[in-house]
Every structure is written in structure tokens, then in C-alpha cells.
Amino acid sequence: MNLKTLLRGPMPLIGGGLALVVLAGLVFTAVTTRAIKPFDQIGLSALINGLYYLVNTVALGVFSGVEQEGSRAVSQERAAGRAVTPIVHAMARQSMRLFALTTVVMLIVSPFLVGPVLGGHWELLAELIIALFATACASTVRGVLAGSQRFGGYAATQATEGLVRIIPLLLLLFLGVHQPWAYGLVFVLAQVFAALVGVLILRTGTSQSWGQLMSTPPARDVAGAGKVWFGVSIGLVLLVLASLTNQAVVNLPPVIGGAKLQATMPLLATAVGAAIGLTRLPMFAFVPLQTMLLPQLTAAVGRGDKAGVRRQTLRTSVACVALGLLGVTFLGTLGPWLLSIYVPGVSNLSGATLAGLGVGTLFLMTANVTQPALIALGRHRTVLVAYLVGTAAMALAFVVPVDPVLGVVLSTSAGPIALVLVMAVALAKATRPTADQQHVMA
């Protein structure tokens, strides 16, 4: 299946659902700033934004691995003609165990979180734990929907998440509510409703009765995911660690770079942070493609069609590079003008700087469409190694004695380039034709 066929399929649905989720995040920031800041004497608006970033970093960083592993496992069982219900049960149990483990870790570090990050507001920590549970549920359901290639249902969960955030947030603003916990609760509960919608879709769409599905004996583990330690498979643990490391590659450059510039050049620090956010926007366009690729590539692996996996990944990677190069060109020419509109009144950055930031986005997009192939092939460990190498490259770029802005550009590019090189080499080796296949082709 080529990119044009994907664009004609359910990809626009998933893209629309994702757009609502992204819009809900923007609305959350805008609404809380307007609702809380006029009554804010102790920095509560900053604290609620701290909750927002904690949810996006911790909850999504941990449980995106659940969605990917669930999609792979369900796809694998479907391709083999086996019942998927035991695997669904297994993934749900592992997700809840992972939620319990993450909650314990959050409680252990709670003195640090509640003190400096959440300003002593324990109710915000409670909302973070609710967010962990909600994300665990939604990620499990979405993994099943994606693995079953029910992308319309997947998009419905995204749309639900976005709308259940946007409408109540605007209602709270209209009613003049200014308590931070109320806005935080709306934000974290949205994924609970998304999960419920997903469960309803799965119930109505299955050929078996719900009772028959629930009575199916649960699987002891997830096929192809490795051994199970403390109730969680090694494959899932590796993906969780990879997701968290990915968060470091994506989010640390603006944080560390901004910290270096904040003391002496605060306006420039603001401009750099905004520029990185602006140049990363194209990544959202490829999230639906990543969701659709994993079950299709897993099915191809189940058929033994590794050459097909290689061709599909190469085609989508070429599309990423082509669009990325267009983006780099755009940033190099019109980027400074666009940045001045996006954040007026701050220091302007050159076109070369913005183009350099765009290079990192190009490689991050390529990683997002290469990773599903490695997961489909069962190379979970390689995915983690790639992100660790990327993190190391990013860290080395930070200590290079250059101009601070150039240092940020280098760090945003070095990490993604390094991790894509590791992924590309691993994928080439994993899909290399065997001696027998080479003989047949000859």
C-alpha cells in the first residue's frame, strides 16, 4: 500500500481526531491563562501548565508503548487466524500493572513533584494519577482498535477526547470558574470517556457476543513479546523505556537551551522555544500514518513478507524526507516572518537557524515511520537502543563550545539523526533476503 492509497483511506479520519486533541491542548493553555491569571497571586497558572506537561510527558511517555505493543500483538494474532480476546485480556492486565508501578514511582517522588513543580498542591498530584489511569485505559483500547484496523473507531476515541476537553473548558471559563483543579480535572478525565467510547465500539462491532468474549480464557502472555517479569512483558517494558527516552530527545533541547539563554537573553530564549514548537508541528501530520502502518507491517511479517516491510518503510521514509526538505526550505525563507506572527515582540531568528531546527523534525518524522517496522519485526530492543544513542548524541551536542543558539540547533538535529541511522541499519539487516531467497531471485 502506497502513500496515496493511505491518504484516500481512513488516514484523514485519524488526522481529524488528532487535530481535535491538539486543539484541545491549545484551548487548555489559552483558557486556563485567561481564567486563572486574573485571580493568580502565587503562580497558579504556571502550576496548572506544569500538570499539563507532566501528563503529556509521563502518561503519554509510558502508555504509548502499551498502544503500540497492543496493536502489534492483536495484528499478529489476526494475521495468524487466532482469537484476539486472550491477547486483549493480557494487554489490559499488563497495562494496569504498569499503571500501578508508575503510580508507586510518582508517589515516591511526590515530595519533589508537589513541592517545586506543583507548588504544594496535592490535588494536582491526584489529578496526575487519574491521568495515568485514564491514559492506561485509552491506550489499551486504542491498541486493540488499531491492531484490528478499525481506524474509524480509533478516530472516534480521539474526537471524544478532544471534544470532552474543549466544551467543558469553555463552559468553565464562561461560568467564571478560576480554581485550577477544576480545569485540571476536565483535562485528565477526557481519556476516560475516550476509552469508554472505544469499548462501546468494540462491543458493537464484534461478531461474537460480549459475554462470549469475556468468557474466553485469558492468555498468560503476549505472543512475541518476550518473557514476563512482574506481570509485564519485556517487549512492553522496552517500548515504555523507548517512549520515555523519545520524550527526552523531543523535549529536552528547548528546555535545556532555554535555560541557558534565560538568564542573559530571556527574549531570545522565548523565541528559540517558540521556534522549536513551530518547526515540530509537521510531526503531527505523520502520527496517523504511524498508527496505520504498524498493524499492516505486522501482518506482512506474519506472512513472511519481510521484503514488503522493507519496501513500504522505504516508500514512507522517502515521503518523509521529501516533505521534510520542503519544510526546511520553507523555514529558511519564510520562517522568520511566520515566527514574528507566532510570537510577536520577541527576538527574531535567522532563516538559517529555523531551517537547521527543521532538519531535526525531518529525521524525527522518519523515525516515526521506521519505528513501526522494527516493532512489527519484534525488534523492541533495537528501538530502545536507537533512542538511547539519540539521547547520547543530543547530550554531546549540548557540550560543544559554540554559540548557544547554534548549540540548540545542533542538539535538535544530532539526536534524531543518530537514532534514525541506528534504526535504518537495524531494519536493513532484519529485512535482508536470506540465502534461499537470494537463490530464488537469481
pLDDT tens for each residue of 428-438 = 999 887 654 54
Asked if residue 268 lies in contact with residue 127, where contact means CB atoms within 8 angstroms, the answer is no
Please work out, in degrees rounded to the nearest 5, the angle formed at the alpha carbon of residue 49 by the alpha carbons of 48 and 55.
Answer: 90
Give the predicted TM-score (pTM) of the model.
0.76
Instruction: Please tell me whether residues 128 and 260 are part of one structural domain.
Output: no
Within a domain: 236: no
Instruction: Please tell me whether residues 212 and 274 are part of one structural domain.
Output: no
Q: Which residue has the cell 519484534?
A: 378
6 versus 46: the higher-pLDDT residue is 46
Pairwise CA distance, residues 310 & 131, whole Å:
37
Print the domain residue range for 127.
Answer: 3-223
Within a domain: 95: yes
Within a domain: 409: yes
Within a domain: 358: yes
199 versus 432: the higher-pLDDT residue is 199
Instruction: Please tell me whether residues 219 and 270 are part of one structural domain.
Output: no
Report the pLDDT value the prediction gives residue 61, as an integer from 0 to 100: 83
Instruction: Please tell me whether residues 85 and 133 are part of one structural domain.
Output: yes
Instruction: Please tell me whether residues 91 and 190 are part of one structural domain.
Output: yes
Instruction: Please tell me whether residues 96 and 206 are part of one structural domain.
Output: yes
Report the pLDDT value the prediction gives residue 41, as an integer from 0 to 100: 44
Instruction: Please tell me whether residues 166 and 49 are part of one structural domain.
Output: yes
Report the pLDDT value the prediction gives residue 414, as an integer from 0 to 100: 92
Report the pLDDT value the prediction gives residue 437, as an integer from 0 to 100: 52
Pairwise CA distance, residues 100 & 112, whole Å:
19
pLDDT at 265 over 80: no
pLDDT at 234 over 60: yes
Instruction: Please tell me whether residues 262 and 194 are part of one structural domain.
Output: no
pLDDT at 143 over 70: yes
Q: Which residue, of 223, 255, 282, is where some domain finishes?
A: 223
Which three three-digit cell numbers place residue 247? 520524550
Instruction: Please tell me whether residues 295 and 217 are part of one structural domain.
Output: no
Instruction: Please tell me whether residues 327 and 415 are part of one structural domain.
Output: yes
Within a domain: 37: yes
Instruction: Please tell me whether residues 181 and 258 are part of one structural domain.
Output: no
Within a domain: 18: yes
Within a domain: 441: no
Instruction: Please tell me whether residues 180 and 268 are part of one structural domain.
Output: no
Reported confidence tier of residue 343, pLDDT bands at 50, 70, 90 = low
Within a domain: 165: yes
Domain count, the chain: 2
pLDDT at 187 over 50: yes
Pairwise CA distance, residues 357 & 372, whole Å:
24
pLDDT at 196 over 90: yes
Looking at this protein, which amino acid is placed at residue 266?
P
